[in-house]
Amino acid sequence: MSVAPSEAHAQLEAAERELLDLSVETSQADWVHATYITEDTDALAAKANARLSAATVRWARRSMALPAAALDPVDRRKVLLMRVSLPIVAADDPREGEELSRTVAQMQGTYSKGTHIPLGRTEAVDLQALSRILTESREPARLEDAWTGWHRVGRSIRGPYTRYVELANRGARGLDFEDTGAMWRSKYDMPPEAFAAEVERLWQQVRPLYESLHAYTRLRLRAFYGPALVPERGPIPAHLLGNMWAQSWEGVLPLLLPATDPPSYDLTQILTRRGTSAEEMIRYGERFFVSLGLPPLPSTFWERSMLQRPRDREVVCHASAWDVDYVDDLRIKMCVEITEEDFYTVHHELGHNYYQRAYSGQPFLFRESAHDGFHEAVGDTVSLSVTPEYLVRIGLLDRAPEASGDLPFLLHRALEKIAFLPFGLTVDRWRWEVFAGRVPPEQYNRTWWAMREQYQGVRPPSPRDETEFDPGAKYHVPSNVPYMRYFLAHILQFQFHRALTRIAGQTGPLHRASIYGSKEAGERLGAMLALGASREWPDALEALTGERRMNAQGLLDYFAPLQRWLDEQLRGVPRGW
């Protein structure tokens, strides 16, 4: 039966109206749940999310029946975005849909309840306490015990995960995707296979820098722990890298810094000494965006945000930025601590809020970033402008230290940003293979560690077999959260930063450049943000950078002084694994 273009357009407008109403309802329920955790708010949030998910799938399936000839390019894009908007889709059978929801909830519950009794203790502790051991202890036995103890959480997740893969794939095929991994990769305005190749291309750009950082880290850890534990060649034992998943290595910075190179200033001490409040931390971030020519935050932001942990109830303190009504009800949920880390986090989270506000004038289905990596990258781009020169301009430093003393800063940032890249790649590459059926359940763990060694050059502290399910020890796997956005954001933020600092007329070292106060940079950034998801991401990228391909050259330029220093330290030292 033929469908007139006007009829097809009207159907999509009806979809947007319903999905907007349900999205606002879900945001409100999620906000109350996150800031007032009870069994009742848990149930209300779950029901609201289920209604939104069911409606999204229903409209996606209806829109797929519309003939292409009845859709203009804008409406065709809306149909695509509806099909890929959910990370998981249930099959038509309501019983399977309920089973899929229960399975994900079961995996999340198992993860969240995970505990372990560390060496020397008599009571079980949670992931947060175990992670502190990984960061702070230098005793190999304690590190291995904490690492192994937490990773046991995966054992109970393995069975449900196998069933989850089956159910999720059936739902994805109902939307004409080969599998769930193909559905995730279809978010990026190119065929799934082409996107996988694009990601590999980006990795190859940054791999030499990662291998240098890996070799230097291995060298220093070997000097500290000895050759019996850390090899001269080969992968690094994962439990020695200061993080439960070896996804960032800042925890071992004290072991890697030359004794003659202490940090030049301590922002945490500066903020604490000034008596900075949680609200003032946010005000610093707001003034950054206002300096770019963007408007101040709405008054409701200050009335409705949660900036400190309440004394009378349980809340989720993990920092997040919210746009509750998809127009201008912007909020931050965060238990602000007066630390350097949270100073950066504030600037990052406000990046999300300003992105949300900028695209609020778009049709509902376009009120999202160009792709999910853009949203994360914008916040991190702003954080890259928190430089000593910026701190001088806002009165937190009297003068900027000489750039010749920036090695501790660059090494710290590399242990955060560069060390993450292969892990960010591995999490989803493994899942793509699992969803595609190329990795069967009996090879889950073996393949996980083969990929981690291939990309990261790390190995477990002791042999792992298929009774374990180590991917399940990472939150995003049992919780069904795609991870590629973080890998892409770690590339894009430097591409954005390089472009914006050039627009701002900055000519010094890229790691010292800040766009603070540049109306020209703010205008270019604001124009890209306002596009939302209305255009394919190469158009948005071009609007900001003048380039149509993601490119890691900005990252390489940023860390060029560190690369030169690493080359000096690694003369005659083996690289790779």
The residues annotated with a catalytic role in the active site are: 349, 476
Residue 353, φ and ψ in degrees, nearest 5:
-60, -45
Question: From CA 230, how far away is CA 15, in angstroms rounded?
Answer: 57
Contact 468, 155 (CB under 8 A): yes
Residue 399 DSSP label = S
Q: How far is CA 366 from each of CA 20, 88, 154, 188, rounded to the nearest angstrom?
A: 11, 20, 37, 14
Residue 170, φ and ψ in degrees, nearest 5:
-60, -40
Strand segments (E) across 146-269: 236-237
At residue 349, what is the residue type? E
Largest CA distance in the chain: 77
Question: From CA 211, how far away is CA 563, in angstroms rounded?
Answer: 11
At residue 78, what is the residue type? K
Question: From CA 113, how far away is CA 152, in angstroms rounded?
Answer: 12
Question: From CA 128, how far away is CA 298, in angstroms rounded?
Answer: 34
Question: From CA 126, how far away is CA 133, in angstroms rounded?
Answer: 11
> What stretches of 236-298 show up as alpha helix (H) in DSSP?
253-256, 267-273, 278-291
Radius of gyration of the chain (CA): 24
Contact 59, 82 (CB under 8 A): yes
* CA 203 and chain centroid, separation: 17
Question: From CA 199, how far away is CA 429, in angstroms rounded?
Answer: 10
Question: From CA 160, how far away is CA 155, in angstroms rounded?
Answer: 10
Q: How far is CA 572 from each of CA 175, 225, 353, 541, 566, rounded to the nearest angstrom?
A: 54, 21, 48, 41, 12
